[in-house]
Amino acid sequence: MAKYPKLTQLGRSVAPPLTPDEAVIETVPNPRPRDLYLVRFAAPEFTSLCAVTSQPDFAHLVIDYAPRAKLVESKSLKLFLGSFRNHCAFHEECTLMIGQRLAKVLAPRWLRIGGYWYPRGGMPIDVFWQTGAPPKRLWLPDQGVPPYRGR
């Protein structure tokens, strides 16, 4: 931890944030800022609450980004995503909140998020957002989440 003294969550017991606004997304320096590469996080058990009924909603999130100077610290990302468990919002709002907050904190070359939401009312709602066109020569694998068929 001495190498990263500014980290306040990694290696420590911390209370989970109660809301996404309270969550602190921490970063570490990218040791290879000149190299073009993709980082992927998958959260197959993401949960939030429906904005109308307060019933739980479930999604498989896939976050891809091409870093510049910063990498997201994974424990802080997990705590941030977990803070949505008691957050009431539509699928679209949750997905965009996550993608836009990460883009603001990381200032990556490129970022995209795929929110593959499980059915509510018989229909899955998949939400996709990205910061722009991906950089040329970036290896961009498929997000690997099939169309809904009982995922």
Please tell me whether residue 57 adopts helix, strand or coil conformation: strand
The catalytically annotated residue of 21, 50, 88, 126 is 50
The catalytically annotated residue of 21, 35, 57, 88 is 57
50 is catalytic: yes
Q: In which order are the strands placed within the sheet that holds 126-130?
A: 39-49, 56-66, 110-117, 126-130
What amino acid occupies position 137? R
94 is catalytic: no
Residue 131 φ then ψ, to 5°: -75, -15
| Residues belonging to the active site | 50, 57
